[in-house]
Structure 1
Amino acid sequence: MEPSAHVDTFARDNLPPLEQWPVLRLDDPGLAYPARFNCAAALLDEAIDAGHGERVAIWSNVDGEPNATTYNELRAMVDRWAHVLVEDLALRPGNRVLLRGPNTLQMAAALLASLKAGLVVVPTMPLLRAKELKQIIDKARIGAALCDARLADELNRCREPGDEYFAPDLAQVAFFHSDADDSLDTRAAGKPAHFDACDTAADDVCLIAFTSGTTGAPKGCMHFHRDVLAMCDLFPRHVLRPNADDVFCGTPPLAFTFGLGGLLCFPLRVGASTVLIEKLTPESLLQTIERFRATIVFTAPTFYRQMAPHVARFDLSSLAKTVSAGEALPDATRALWREATGIEMIDGLGGTEMIHIFISCAAEDIRPHAIGKAVPGYEIAVVDDAMRRLPPGTVGKLAVRGPTGCRYLADERQKTFVREGWNLPGDAVYMDEDGYVFYQARADDIIVSAGYNISGPEVESVLLEHEAVAECGVIGVPDDERGQIVKAFVVVNPGYVADDTLVAQLQAFVKSHVAPYKYPRVIRFIEALPRTETGKLKRFALRTM
């Protein structure tokens, strides 16, 4: 590894042993990075050097009105904030800094300023509570936090010695999105508009991204400055193909790597614009596309399904590409969106451990029911429990390797995620002879009933084709006779009665569309499905209901 710029060496010291790392493939010609660079400078300063200084970098809402921040203005803001971090807060390269805020200009500036100063950013979801924040602070030994002033309450509990969620490592907090005398905004106003980026190594840790917790206790995934650029230079370049005239928008939080890439890093890498809006509903996302003439949208399948019925009320003529990720994209949702907009969805499979999407394909290359193929730069295999490759058409465990990969922060689960140099994200898939990947379920969500393997997402996709079903989640539950049976949790559309008659109709519907043994023997109607902030279905929560 290149000599580190970090004075605080905690991050590098707590990387897994090298023998537990995945193989890192850096042979793609688009990944020929220098040994030393700072990813924030590469994203922002290089865009300005390329002539994009007066173009809009970030659109935001200020008192309900569109606010444009150019690349030159964003860099001046970021550099002033970096001076505050180094001079006023006395933070040093390698210090971990927790970031807490919704999708705003200020959150983007806090993130970029921290990276430029050589800090290790730990972005967190806005809805996390003190208990969850303490777990992250303790795990990553975080000494400072930058927090939107409107989200102070839960974080302040971590600063109170008498509180059950007191986190002793958290020595200081600076608030932003505030006009208080000691806020980041106020302090930065008097700072110089130029900051020399920290001379970080390409393999210095710059990001600890905590998983969203769909499978239990969150894990800290450590990524390098090199990884941030790699996520910008593979999926976007080969599949999304954006340019400087594009306007990005969407729902994933910047604290989630899906949002960090899609709503900040990808647009900056090509000199494009991004729209950062704090809270979006399906209707307000459509309004945002219309208002800002957005061309590329990132969101989860649930949002596309909920937006489709309202599309006709909005001018979406600017919209060219829509990206779905975060959970499996049901065929019914893909078809519904295509019928409503004429746009073929770009599906993607990624993960916090891999930083972003590694399986996808351009809209014109899709194959029915498939997610896509390995993004150039990545290699995909389907393996059995002994890590032997399986032939095309055989369901097994997804294995992937490429320029990014899993490096957990001090976590025994590293040995489970990485085996023989391959990352094992925990997905059950099969691959056809042309390399297209077909998702079945999370490997631990395959339902085994009377000897049959059943994919929960496949049953969900069928149920969603029924006009009465708004949302659904399918799991396996124990059964004395069959080992497991299929159970569906269903949210019904307005105008339908959730009763035994509808249960029978839905069961018959599934039997008529897929093999009868896959039908849900139990259906429970609920008001809403449990989801993470990123829109993922919490299957483990369904199991406790």
Structure 2
Amino acid sequence: MKHYTDNFAQDNLPSQDLQPDYLCDLPQFQHPEMLNCVERLLDNHIKNGNGEAVCIRTFKETWTYKDLYEKANQIAHVLVDDLGLVSGNRVLLRSANNPMMVACWFAILKAGGIVVATMPLLRSKELTTIIDCAEISIAISDSDLAEDMNQVESKFLKQKSFYRNGHLEQLMQSKPKTFYNYHSKADSVCLIGFTSGTTGLPKMTAHYHKDILNICEAFPIYSLQPTKEDIFIGSPPLAFTFGLGGLVLFPMYFGASTFLLEKPSPDLLLKAIQEYKITICLTAPTAWRVLTTKLNEFDVSSLRKCVSAGETLPLQVWQDWYDATGLKIIDGIGATEMLHIFISSNEENMIPGTTGLPILGYEAKIVDDNGKELPINEIGKLAVRGITGCKYLNREDKQEAYVQNGWNLTGDIFKKDEKGYFWFIARGDDMIISSGYNIAAIEVESVLLTHEDIFECAVIGIPDKERGMLVCAHIVLKEKDKASVALEKHIQHWFKEVAAPYKYPRIIKFTDNLPKTETGKIQRFKLK
């Protein structure tokens, strides 16, 4: 029996010899041959009598597990009966974070489809690239995002359905509230995540049903210790695997609840924490910095765990939050290719300034350009392997570059100390080589952020004939009208007094704001 009527994903997986080594010996990472992850994440709550427990909250809605279960089942019927989904079809999911997006996500997997969730800010050209690349035949979109969706022209896209007073709700009304889930394999592809860059031929990362459950047994148990009483909140979009894990998979795996914000401004995030007694918050370093400045306006005493990912967490941001709240922000590094966080810490083993240790299910080391492991405290490439790994679809060249000798090379530059802790140095493309010195952008940023006048900053390298590259700092001041040549000179002089002089920013550009992604990550390439 074929488990995929549409075999696109299975046929385009990298061959076994190009895939990384997997570490799945522990019993919690072993699964039966047949597995649909939705049953563990959603259906079992109904079977176990947890259906009336709150699952999703917003400022306007409250859904129980039963509500989510029934709506996901109705949407699954729509997908199969009205939109023509056959198992293995990719389904584009386009929405801000809201309950219906979650229902659609589960419905696609229930029906045997593969989710391709996209960031709300993507435009028609970018959406067309994704649809053509993944040969997507069905799209479900929030009607608020209909304009760009309707401008997509692709020979692959056959059906579109919109929700929020739209077509989808009309079709759902007549559908049963039960659905017999597609009998997927544990190693059937259920999710395709696109890495950053949606021009040309972007990279598609595939993940299995068992991968979804594996990450729920890793980071949250290691760092968060969730209970049914926890309420999760965060700013990352559900199309971003950091957001999917932290705002859907982790809370539902443990029978907890999630609070979704369609437009997660700092004020709304803090308002929700205060009014709904949120206990776990996940966001990016830039957001933690802003939240710290607003703590005198809100009560965040209900929080017990704070998580930062997307880019490395500056020590000053960690310290400011800790001084104000007594809470230790948990830093972590993950990758779309690896699905979620693989190096992090918890309150017991945390050393501020480090990314942490490989979490349960993962191993990591530092290697040179030839893949040879480097000694303690030497800077090199981060190599990781574990319960998840890179599986690029239809990109053998990229697969061979990312996976070498069974290890995933993430593109990050790290060092490992004598205690086994991993210290972030730079992204591979954020290392500045000036007059023979290797200068990590994050090192310069971390120093600058301790200056009393600086609110945010981003450091890049600018080509220079004499030095090869110059360190250039784009700085957002706390009081923007202070920007002046005199302040620029002062910051440069101050920097040379508090850090190695060769690292100081020879060019300073004051700006009102920095370009960022929807997840709060600074887009340094736009500054370049």
TM normalised by structure 1 equals 0.94
Structure 1: segments with no counterpart, 5+ residues: 159-165
> Is 1:404 the counterpart of 2:388 in the alignment?
yes
1:312-461 equivalences under 5 Å are 312-411=296-395, 412-461=397-446
Question: Partner residue of 1:31?
Answer: 29
Question: Partner residue of 1:176?
Answer: 163
Mark the CA change 1:335 to 1:437 in structure 2 (over 3 Å): closer, same or farther: same
1:281 Cα shift? 1.0
Letter of the 1:313 counterpart? E
Of stretches 447-456 and 123-132 in structure 1, the one that deviates more from structure 2 is: 447-456
Give the share of equivalent positions with the same residue, in percent: 48
Equivalent residue for 2:248, pick from 258, 264, 288: 264
> Is 1:503 the counterpart of 2:503 in the alignment?
no
Counterpart contact for 1:324–1:348, Cα < 8 Å? yes
Deviation sequence 1:344-391 (CA, Å, 0-9, x none): 100000010000000001023111321100011100010000000001
> Is 1:289 the counterpart of 2:273 in the alignment?
yes
Question: Partner residue of 1:163?
Answer: none
> Is 1:130 the counterpart of 2:124 in the alignment?
yes
Distance, in Å, in 2 between the alignment partners of 1:87 and 1:215 is 34
Question: Partner residue of 1:234?
Answer: 218
> Is 1:5 the counterpart of 2:3 in the alignment?
yes
Question: Partner residue of 2:142?
Answer: 148
1:51 Cα shift? 3.6
Distance, in Å, in 2 between the alignment partners of 1:128 and 1:4 is 35
Distance, in Å, in 2 between the alignment partners of 1:248 and 1:111 is 18
Counterpart contact for 1:486–1:518, Cα < 8 Å? yes
1:29 Cα shift? 2.6
Question: Partner residue of 2:20?
Answer: 22
Deviation sequence 1:401-448 (CA, Å, 0-9, x none): 001111112122111111111100100000012211000000121111
Deviation sequence 1:212-250 (CA, Å, 0-9, x none): 339996421111111111111100111111111100001
> Is 1:53 the counterpart of 2:87 in the alignment?
no
Distance, in Å, in 1 between the alignment partners of 2:355 and 2:46 is 35
Mark the CA change 1:501 to 1:214 in structure 2 (over 3 Å): closer, same or farther: farther
3-state SS in 1 of match to 2:246: helix
Counterpart contact for 1:449–1:483, Cα < 8 Å? yes
Question: Partner residue of 1:100?
Answer: 94
Question: Partner residue of 1:467?
Answer: 452
Mark the CA change 1:214 to 1:429 in structure 2 (over 3 Å): closer, same or farther: farther
Equivalent residue for 2:472, pick from 487, 496, 503: 487
Distance, in Å, in 2 between the alignment partners of 1:171 and 1:398 is 42
1:89 Cα shift? 1.0
Equivalent residue for 1:535, pick from 514, 520, 523: 520
Distance, in Å, in 1 between the alignment partners of 2:442 and 2:14 is 33
1:496 Cα shift? 4.5
Distance, in Å, in 2 between the alignment partners of 1:345 and 1:107 is 28
Distance, in Å, in 2 between the alignment partners of 1:359 and 1:264 is 20
Letter of the 1:138 counterpart? D
User: How much is the aligned-residue C-alpha RMSD, in angstroms?
Assistant: 1.5
Distance, in Å, in 1 between the alignment partners of 2:509 and 2:199 is 22
Counterpart contact for 1:329–1:347, Cα < 8 Å? yes
Distance, in Å, in 1 between the alignment partners of 2:306 and 2:464 is 41
Letter of the 2:50 counterpart? H
Question: Partner residue of 1:90?
Answer: 84
> Is 1:201 the counterpart of 2:177 in the alignment?
no
3-state SS in 2 of match to 1:260: helix
1:4 Cα shift? 5.5
Q: Matched residue pairs, number?
A: 527
Equivalent residue for 2:236, pick from 252, 269, 272: 252
Letter of the 2:42 counterpart? L
Question: Partner residue of 2:114?
Answer: 120
3-state SS in 2 of match to 1:114: helix
Counterpart contact for 1:475–1:486, Cα < 8 Å? yes
Distance, in Å, in 1 between the alignment partners of 2:472 and 2:201 is 24
Counterpart contact for 1:249–1:296, Cα < 8 Å? yes
Counterpart contact for 2:133–2:201, Cα < 8 Å? no
Counterpart contact for 2:318–2:352, Cα < 8 Å? no
1:118 Cα shift? 0.9
Equivalent residue for 1:478, pick from 449, 463, 466: 463
Distance, in Å, in 2 between the alignment partners of 1:212 and 1:249 is 24
Question: Partner residue of 2:69?
Answer: 75
Distance, in Å, in 2 between the alignment partners of 1:322 and 1:49 is 32
